[in-house]
Structure 1
Amino acid sequence: MTCPRFLPRPSPASVRSEDLEADLRADLQGVLALNGMGGFIWEPDCDTVFLDPGGLAVFDLDPEEFDGRPDTLTRRLHPEDAAQLEAQVSDALASRDGYGAYFRVRRSDGSLCWAHVQGHIQRDRAGRPRRVVGIVRDASAELQHLTQQATLEADRRRQTDVVEATTSALSQALTIEDVTTALTSEKVMGAVGAASIVLSLLEKGRLRIVATAGLPPEYARDMQYVRLDDPLPVAEAIRTRTPRFTSREEALTYPRLRPHVVDTDFSASAILPLIAQARPIGALAIIYRHKDRFTPEERNLLQVLGGTVAQSVQRAVLYDEEHAIAVGLQQAMLPAVIPDVTGTRIAARYRPARTGHQIGGDWYDVVPLPTGRVGLVVGDVQGHDIHASAVMGQLRIALRAYAAEGHPPGTLLARASAFLHDLDTERFATCLYVELDPATGHAQLVRAGHHGPLVRHPGGGCSRPYVHGGLPLGLPQYSGHAPYPTTELRLGPEDSMLLCTDGLVEFRGMDVDEGLRQVETIVGEGPADLDCLAEHIVATVESRQGQDDDVALLLVGLTTADLVR
């Protein structure tokens, strides 16, 4: 069998048709070569390869230097690719009709470029491979495009991750503290790729730093306040309402910034003015290492990030302002001071809910009574709004007035219930009232829809005395002044009693009994001093469970050494 070193020509029917086919073949080869492609024929029996000009160009070979041997082409391939291609071709010759593979070609100048081969196997009647015909082509541009697409896709995923991480972190942020905690978290800084973050708020014509991460303390100290006319990138960003993307070299030209940049590896920063409702409210500075420029996509992404942060900051500022007003109003309706009552130790605490800024109806009061006795009360008006706080204020005044009139505890709460009912507010209130005689430790307790007290004994043990109860205040049952049931008990000289609203014992996923048991443990482990114990209780509950509702509590103990029995 003769092995051709060239493409075989079909026998022409005429000279004209032969010339036409030759022209077409030349044109086809030229078109393939222009597109970095060429044809080949490989005769396995005589181990000879024919390459047209386009094929030779793929392997960067001149016609004169190619001897038609496959080994000559193999030596042009990267060793790893040559072994893989040989294995794939051998497998195809044994059992398939074709093969395709990418491989690297080492050009005459030593550089590597990617190529692709597609071969079709022609077999004789016995199924043996007779000839392989195929195409080789330069695949560098193709793979470069795929690499670029993969890079773009990775950038898009990263941008999506940044937006999702920031939005997720800020979605639950209520206060400025929450916002700063979210922005300086690893979740956000890692997604943005930041080495440091600085958040500043605009207050009375100056920028004040409220949070930093990844910077030494002296930076926050030296740059704590920035006037809008100061020669600094952050001030310029606020004045122009335009983001500033600053290189290390540019940052070093600002005298006030230079000491904080010169000995660091910070390379670039993005300073984003925070604009809300068409006015600047602050600035976010994101500082990078190993970054020399920002692509247009990165600039757009950071501007979107700045808009998201601006909305969260504005919402948090409004929340903090409203929360401060609400707490101030609520506390103004509580006793300004706890009166001194001979023979007693008394401590009180009020804590607004950690979540939500509305005013609650929780209250406590201490009312000195005739003959040295004292009235202690905690209560909670239904709802969390200004109306609830207003009703609470009226009810507290009414209770004090009835107590000053000398009514016994059961009658006092009955009158208070009728008073609340007559207000026609459609609100009810729960309440626990204790009338204590410090000289004897004798106490009378009345409960209106409220949980009972907790008594701590010497040594830290606690008990929950049973207290007869009635319906909450404001319901029709006691509108006719029918007394509430009264329960009596005695406090020992080293006992202390806790009265609190349900915000201290009710938590999501926990029933009241479980909450009371938890408070028992906290009280039993607390300090003996009542003021320290009050702080210990509210701080421990907040750290363990959070605080979803307002909390009011009173602690009372006796100071009389020898009680009259």
Structure 2
Amino acid sequence: MVSQGAAEPAPRRPRAELALAALADDLDPRARLHAILEQVLVFTEVTFAAVYTPDDEGELLSLTASAGVPANLYGLLDSYPTAGATSLAEVARTGRPVWRGSADLVQDADARRSVVGEFSVGVLPLGERGCLLAVSDDLDGFAAEDRRCLDLFARAIARAAPAPPLGPGASFDLAMDTGQVEVDDQVLDLFGIGPDDFEGRVETLLAMTVPEDLPALMSVVEADHMSIGDRELEFRIRRPSGEQKWLRLRGRMVPGGEDRPTRLVGTVADASTLRTGRGDVARVQRLAAALATAGTVRDVSQAVVAALRKPLQADRIALAELEGDRLVVTVLDPPQPEAWPEVWRTEWRSEWPDAPVRTMPTLATALREGRAAIWPADADLEPALAEVGPGGLAVLPLPAGGRMAGACLIGWDSPHDFGPEERALLTAAAGLAGQALMRAHAFDAEHELVGMLQRTLLPRRLPQLPGAVAVARYLPTTAGLEVGGDWYDVIPLPDNHVAFVIGDVQGHNAGAATLMGQMRTALRAYAVEGHPPDVVVAHANRLLVDMETDLFATCCYVDVDMEEGLAWYVRAGHIPPVLRHPDGTAEITESDGGPPLGVLRQADFPMAPLRLAPGALLALTTDGLVESADLDVEDGLDQLASGLSAADPAHLGVVADTLLGGANRDDDVALLLVRYDGMALRPRRESWTVWRVPQAVAQARRYTRRVLRAWGIRDEADAVLLAVSELVTNALVHTDGRVRLDLTLLHDRLRVAVADNSPRTPIKPANIGWQATGGRGVLLVEAMSSAWGTVPASGGKQVWAEIPVG
């Protein structure tokens, strides 16, 4: 089911016949049987295929070979009695195929082992060899084309000679209940162990496995994580001499009884001479084993990337879920934004990118048709896809339960040739990944609810900053359905100031999340009023005390002057910021902090200074990243500082992801990184305190005229002076207290701002009669400027107007 470009595919049965004819004549019977079962997955919509053969007494049908997703997910058993009422027993007795639902195979509680939904079953006779069992997640049953292909494969299996026993030589016999294993001298020789040094424990052999291959191997030797039937897996070991060796394990589960344990018996061989290429059965089963233990959608995505990118020598892989009309990418490899097309970068968000399907018609067609497509080098594709794989692109829709769960994109930079084995691997991997995504969704449902609630309370996007770049990450805890109280915020303020906030509300429940949203809103409101950091935090503390809640919160608030690189920060029971200097050294800042918010009504929150040089990196985080049951907060902060010191500040997103790689998932984590670059063009500023004297407006005009002359502004001087006159007059007439005039020039815009102590905002009159004596000032300011408005300023307000200048 792989197409070249947009060409119509040939009928599947003729292509299946060609694939069967292409099987090598020198394949041993067992390898031939596995190859046929793998082709069942490639040329049909089947997700699991198995052969059941009768025992010597003819009383049981036992599974002897299988391919596809782990069969225990469908509740299938190792053996079925031939006298039973199942479809397998009926086909063995009558010799006629049956096409039914799943109920007859999992009809009792013992048989129903973690079944994922309903499915369709097809059973075809193999003569004296038993039955071919095929499973599909399509609840409507098997299409006519699938039935014809399955009949073809059943005939091919029936013609094949019986699979030989696993045989002597390099053999093992593992007791599943005790872990004791009996091995011959050839196995010990492969592992490089002397007979006198082996005490018969399977843990001794497992300890020699390369760590990256251990999870897949454990899924084979642990009964709780195995698919039934034959086991086949390639893995690496490191011998005592330091030599690394590839081994292939072939095994078969022997069910136990009352007096004997369940055993795994099989052989181990040197795989360096046995590996047949990228599309062999062992590699597909290796992927299936990895997906069997993948719990979340991200785990599934990472397993697919790990299984495909290196074997296929691909330059990039993206795995994405289909949500409505958008493709939400869960894993990008490599993760750097510059490695991906421009349309992907323009949709980049603080956590994951979104790629709209409508911008990629080729991908939309593949998803609609549910057919994998392979595009050679220099194919005429839309830029969003052509740049993913200029040397070749594979688009794999991921089917699951009769719908498309998502897509996998695999791209090469250099011209790539797609061989038959590689095509089989791509198609089989797509089916396995689609089913794994469906299972992971069931596991992720509760955590998605938590994440959705959390995301609604956090900023969707971080603002563009003058002279700095910021990224944020949030990881919810994986410990059950718990909503955390961690938050972050970035608040642009007047005069090129920016406030960065990180906080944590006590507890993990809906109350903590609600309070988190209230505290974030309160801090933002107090900040935009123009208060200094200590006043902002003190106001938030009094608000939390007045709420009469049993919860408290910690936070760190940093106000950065982007023009000068000077920052002031306040800690309220929170861990300190970590600062990475441009030379790569990192330090944990030291300052006196106040108590957590909501504990004491009258509390002091002292401010501490920070000097940021261009290239400095500031990290604000919550304790979930630096503290756990096994890690003290001081050691965690030291590790964070070391991670920052070794990081490349040019790629903040990669730095954030790296720092979160070892995060404690028993607690939620918020992380805010800020790289201070400095402003390339700093504004020119002048200020004047307006005294309440009869000549106040005239003095403000004379001061403004001198400033404009010094700045070389002449043509627009009259418009600026008129705006100054009206704004200063309004402030003197309608307010009391101090009045301040601020002039700011940046690029080709002059900003006139007048601050006073009244919070009342001037109102633009709807209409003015000819006898009216007031109200024209706002209209004149609007006429002279390109924009005007008001902002809070330390209990009062600031009325501003921007005037373009040449």
State the TM-score, normalized to the length of structure 2: 0.35
**Rg (Cα) greater in structure:** 1
State the TM-score, normalized to the length of structure 1: 0.49
Tell me which of the two structures has the higher relative contact order, counting C-alpha pairs closer than 8 angstroms and 6 or more residues apart.
Answer: 1
